[in-house]
Every structure is written in structure tokens, then in C-alpha cells.
Amino acid sequence: MKTQAVAADPRAKIIVALDLPARADALALVRALSPHPGLFKIGLQLFIAAGPDIVRAVRDLGSRVFLDLKLHDIPNTVGHGVESASSLGVEMLTLHLTGGRTMIEAAVAAAPAELLLLGVTILTSSDDDTLRETGVTDTVENQVARLVKLGVAAGLRGFVASPHELQTLRRAHGSEIQIVTPGIRPVGAQPNDQRRATTPKEALAAGADYLVIGRPITGAPDPRAALEQIVTDVV
């Protein structure tokens, strides 16, 4: 499975988020950054705008796809959703761990071996105040640890967690799990709506397997140059 070992090339650790409004914009960016040994993330905005065909189109350009739909529904629906996503040939797929153990197990049962399911912990736009608004009185760090423990028990081996929880998760689970880390901002970049962010180099040093980077690349005047600068900064 390609995603079980991260190559020595730092570019292979970078997942470029195609958080763009239209198919043409996304494919133009993929072409501009290719060949890119990492993955391209297709999330809700692009998937809703362009449909499943955008996955096929990105793959037809020779690129690998991380489908970030954050599935969260009854177990039967999530299981069938995993089956549909895997038929598109994606390599990573997200689901919300707050869906509970039965839902997670349904997803795991439906996933082929070549698909890395990623359990989403707490969004990087959230903090302790956000949790309290939804009735969770614990800290973000403790809640992330609790959710990852639940996911591991249900059969998951991949997780999405912010840079701030990386060291805690590595101490608890070592190399047993793979961690995809959003909330990545190069030195000097605007945080935007990220509340728990850090630099690419710091995230890798803390134990991230993959970095999700969107606006610092996609919003740059020269996305290729921005990507290469990030690679230079982490070497």
C-alpha cells in the first residue's frame, strides 16, 4: 500500500489541498504542480462543485487523491459511502470519529486494504471554547487522545490531528498509527481560520506523517515556487 511508508522525498509528505471552487481551477493547479509525489486533497467545496468526476480527472493526470468528505452518518450509510469512495480509486478517506465505534467499525469493514481510512479528531479551527459550545467539558488535547483511542480500538490506523496533539499521540501509539496533520502554515503565513497551527518543519519534527497544506500554496502567485520553498524549509 503506497500510503503505509512515506518516501524520503519531502514532497511525498505534502498533501496539497485543492480547496478551489471549480474543476478547471483544480486541474490547472494539479498540472502546475505535477509531477508531485504526494497527494491532492479533494474536499467538500470541490467535490460538491465538480462531483466524483473530479477524482477521476485528477487521477487521469497521474496524481494520487485524498478524498476529504469527513463521513458522519448512521453505520450503514457510512459503510456504503466508503464502498463508493473506494470505487473511485482514492487512497485516503476521512470520517468523523465522533460518529462512534459502530460507525467506525462499519467503515473499516467496508474499506479495501489499499484505502487508508483517516479518523478526524477535532478540527484545527476549534479550541476548548468550541468544545464547550457543544457540551464537551474536557480539553482539546484530552478529547483528541480519547477519540484516537476509540478509533484504534475500532480498527483504524490513520488519523487527522492538529500539530498541537502530535507528541501526545506519538507517545501513546508510537508508529502504530499514521497521522495526517492540517493547520500547517509556513513561517510568516497568515493563520486564517486555523487556531491550532504550526510550521511544516515543526509538525514533521513532532511526528506528522503527512502535512495538509492549502492556501499557502494554492493562494500563492506562483504555487510551484511556494511548494518548493516549503520543501526547502523542511529539509
Cell 462499519, located at residue = 106
Over residues 29-62, the pLDDT tens digits come to 999 999 999 999 999 999 999 999 999 999 999 9
Mean pLDDT of 153-167: 94
The pTM of this model reads 0.90
Query: Is the predicted pLDDT of residue 2 greater than 50, yes or no?
Result: no
Measured CA to CA, the distance from residue 201 to residue 10 in angstroms comes to 10
- Counting residues of the chain whose pLDDT is more than 70, the rounded percentage is 91
Mean pLDDT of 99-107: 98
Query: Is the predicted pLDDT of residue 219 greater than 50, yes or no?
Result: yes
pLDDT score recorded for residue 4: 40
Over residues 112-139, the pLDDT tens digits come to 999 999 999 998 888 899 999 999 999 9
- At 235, the amino acid letter reads V
- Counting residues of the chain whose pLDDT is more than 90, the rounded percentage is 78
Joined together, the cell numbers standing for residue 231 give 520543501
pLDDT score recorded for residue 185: 77
Residue 230 near residue 218 (C-beta atoms within 8 A) = no
Domain boundaries, the chain: 2-234
CATH superfamily label, 2-234: Aldolase class I (3.20.20.70)
Measured CA to CA, the distance from residue 24 to residue 28 in angstroms comes to 6
Average pLDDT of every residue of the chain: 91
**Which member of 2, 41, 70, 149 is catalytic?**
70
When pLDDT is cut at 50, 70 and 90, the band that residue 148 belongs to is: very high
When pLDDT is cut at 50, 70 and 90, the band that residue 83 belongs to is: very high
Mean pLDDT of 218-232: 92
Strands in 81-177 per DSSP E: 92-96, 116-120, 158-160
Mean pLDDT of 192-216: 81
The reply to whether 70 belongs to the active site is yes
